[in-house]
Amino acid sequence: MHIRPVKAYKMNEDFKTLPKFMYMGEYDDDSHLINVYDSSKEKLTKIIGTYQWISNSTGEIFFIEEDYPYLAN
């Protein structure tokens, strides 16, 4: 398991702006994102088949931009 920051964009907002939220992503050994945690360590729930995750406490939906270190030069 690996923990790395991921960028979270609140849905229905302009994606051209900087992400307002920095969350932590938990990746398996094959670099697949398996969990996302907010700053209060709340675990978000993945919306299957999308790059969206929902905060169970607030109901807010976020688009998660994953960190792909193996694509970096």
Instruction: Provide the residue ranges of all domains of the chain, joining segments of one domain with +.
Output: 2-68
Would the pTM of this model clear 0.75, i.e. be above it?
Answer: yes
- pLDDT tens track for 14-66: 666 655 667 899 999 988 899 999 888 999 999 998 889 999 999 999 998 87
| C-beta atoms surrounding 56 within 10 Å | 10
State the sign of the Cα–Cα–Cα–Cα dihedral 4, 48, 40, 12.
positive
Angle at 35 between CA 28 and CA 25, to 5 degrees: 80
Q: What is the pLDDT of residue 2?
A: 86
